[in-house]
Copies of this chain bind each other. A is one copy, B any other.
Amino acid sequence: MAESLRVGVAGLGTVGASVVRVLSEKADAIAARAGRPVMVTAVSARDKGRDRGLKLDGVAWHMDPSQLARSNDVDLVVELIGGANGAARACVETAIERGRPVVTANKALLAKHGVAIAKAAEKAGVAVGFEAAVAGGVPVVKTLREALAGNDVSRVFGILNGTCNYILTRMERDRIGFAECLAEAQRLGYAEADPTFDVGGFDAAHKLALLTTLAFGVETDADGIYVEGITSITPFDLQMAEELGYRVKLLGVTTRGEGGIEQRVHPSMLPKDSAIARVDGVTNAVEIDGDVVGALVLAGPGAGGDATASAVIADIVDIARGVRRPVFGIPAEQLAAPKRAPMQTHQGGYYIRLSVIDRPGAAAAIATRMAEQSISLRSIVQRGREPDFDRPSSEPVAVVLITYATNEAALRRALDAIEADGHIDGAPQVIRIEKR
């Protein structure tokens, strides 16, 4: 058997601890798959005293992750520090400079600096694995980069953030408001103390940026992603979706069309019998539409120490086997500049919830504004209030419209006109419908 592969793990949070533990507990099975022993020879973390339940006898401890990357004790560096800059970036860049392959779960780093890192790695002839950076344990990176090599991909979309999917599932099932569900998710450890990164859609956007590069062979363009979070979704929206045949999910969607690449993260309505619509709780799920294979769906645990460690170890074993590929499947020098399709040109159906001031002519005025923009309505639902059944009231009523496919610019013009007419109270709620 070949020489051992000596692994340095920078960052000993839940993922790092799981990687160290699994590599040790399953050393024999992993050696059989890797063709050589894989052993952790160095780690880096700030708090040396903390008990992580790991046996680290004989393992070198570095306070500075870049020092670990530089050390002659390691052949491969696993970066699990996180963050787009700072220690994580320095550690990865140092490893590559020293000619050492890198495995990372750091979506923020790669969404921002992935192309530069890939160029440096390819120049140095080292691999960079990042399966763990997208959808946790679900092998979507490997599938896009390798299994679909014969396909032109037209769309990748899915549930990329387990926290949001947990909250939406719970809101829908138990008709509880967003704030209460978020607090519960925080208690259960599914959401961070500062939840903005998750519920604002930013975590999903980082992952989507990487999927776009893998799917379409273009440079990563995280700044080109249209991002909306889930904070404005109400139990009423979820109930209406259900009645109209949809479910609401926070989706990341990337498509390539004639106008360019459209990347967006926002709450979406999906036909409720579609595969992605049915995914509940913290599970992640991704659909890939390829021209040769058709539609593939992958689903599984998108977060958590062990699921993420599973992806990290797969990358380590690939590298131990001597697999060398460009980081994003094609050489980074060949990645094209992405042409952004602006959100204004987005085509699709819409769910619109208006808080309408209940007086004669309001409905007609709204319908007229839609017609002026050539927007056809598939459904209109207005719920009469029981006590005021036979007369309008000064309280606004909820009116829900489902449009046929139109474009974002026309829809925004119609909504601006409706707002200007003074028939509605507050901003319209708009949820895009994702086609099957």
| Residues of A participating in the B interface, judged by any CB pair closer than 8 Å | 18, 22-23, 26, 29-30, 32-35, 131, 137-139, 142-143, 146-152, 217, 275, 278, 290, 292-301, 304, 306-307, 309-314, 316-318, 321-326, 329-331, 334
Establish whether residues B151 and A310, one from each chain, have CB atoms under 8 Å apart when the complex forms. yes
Given the known inter-chain contacts A292-B22, A296-B299, A297-B298, please indicate yes or no for A317 contacting B146, CB distance below 8 A. Answer: yes
**Known contacts A150-B317, A292-B307, A295-B300, then 5 further A-B pairs from the complex at CB < 8 Å, ordered by chain A residue:** A33-B149, A137-B292, A149-B317, A298-B298, A321-B323
Shortest Cβ-Cβ A-B pairs, 7 listed: A150-B313, A139-B147, A293-B310, A137-B293, A149-B317, A296-B300, A32-B330
On chain B, the residues within 8 Å of A152 by CB distance are 26, 29
Q: How far is the CA of A81 from the CA of B209 in the complex (A)?
A: 41
Q: Which one of A33, A35, A148, A295 has the highest number of Cβ atoms from chain B below 10 Å of its Cβ?
A: A33
Q: How far is the CA of A30 from the CA of B295 in the complex (A)?
A: 20
Q: Which one of A150, A295, A324 has the highest number of Cβ atoms from chain B below 10 Å of its Cβ?
A: A150
Find the B residue at minimum CB distance from A291: B306
A157 nearest CB across to chain B (Å):
15
Instruction: Pick from B29, B294, B304, B312: contact of A300, CB below 8 A.
Output: B294
On chain B, the residues within 8 Å of A142 by CB distance are 139, 142-143, 146-147
Find the B residue at minimum CB distance from A149: B317
On chain B, the residues within 8 Å of A300 by CB distance are 293-297
What are 10 residue pairs bridging A and B, where the CB atoms are less than 8 Å apart in the complex?
A: A142-B142, A142-B147, A149-B313, A149-B317, A149-B318, A150-B317, A293-B300, A297-B300, A298-B299, A321-B323
Q: Which one of A18, A29, A30 has the highest number of Cβ atoms from chain B below 10 Å of its Cβ?
A: A29
Establish whether residues A296 and B148, one from each chain, have CB atoms under 8 Å apart when the complex forms. no
Establish whether residues A149 and B298, one from each chain, have CB atoms under 8 Å apart when the complex forms. no
A268 nearest CB across to chain B (Å):
19
Q: How far is the CA of A34 from the CA of B26 in the complex (A)?
A: 32
Instruction: Pick from B150, B295, B314, B324: contact of A147, CB below 8 A.
Output: B314
Instruction: Pick from B23, B32, B307, B314: contact of A146, CB below 8 A.
Output: B314
On chain B, the residues within 8 Å of A323 by CB distance are 321, 323
On chain B, the residues within 8 Å of A148 by CB distance are 310, 314
Instruction: Pick from B149, B306, B317: contact of A294, CB below 8 A.
Output: B306
Find the B residue at minimum CB distance from A323: B323
Establish whether residues A322 and B324, one from each chain, have CB atoms under 8 Å apart when the complex forms. yes
Q: How far is the CA of A278 from the CA of B217 in the complex (A)?
A: 33
On chain B, the residues within 8 Å of A131 by CB distance are 147
A373 nearest CB across to chain B (Å):
37
Establish whether residues A306 and B330, one from each chain, have CB atoms under 8 Å apart when the complex forms. no
Establish whether residues B321 and A306, one from each chain, have CB atoms under 8 Å apart when the complex forms. no
